[in-house]
Structure 1
Amino acid sequence: MMQFMGYFAEASENGAELDYNTQIEMVFKTLSKDFVGFRAAYNFRGRE
C-alpha cells in the first residue's frame, strides 16, 4: 500500500488527477482472487 501511495503522489506531482475511486479501483485490480470477499464487503459498505 505504501508503494501505491508513492505512485499516486508521483502521478499527482506530474499533473495527473486521480480521484479517490480511481485509486481504489487500481488497488483492487492488483489484489489476488483471495481478496474477493474483502472487495465485496467494501462495495457492500458503500451501498448502505
Structure 2
Amino acid sequence: MNVNQIINMVIRRVMSIAINKGINAGADQLSKRKTRKTAQTQQQDTNRLS
C-alpha cells in the first residue's frame, strides 16, 4: 500500500465522520423546530378553548 492510498483512506474516514456529524446536527435542529411548532400549536389550541 503506498502513501497516496493511505492518505485517501484517512481523508475518506475523516470526511465520513464529519458528514455524519453534520447530518446528525441537522436532524437535531429539525426535531427541535418540529417540537417547538407542536408546542406552539397546542398552546394556541388551549388559548382558543379558554
**TM-score for both structures, normalised by structure 2:** 0.30
Q: Which has the higher helix share?
A: 2
**TM-score for both structures, normalised by structure 1:** 0.31
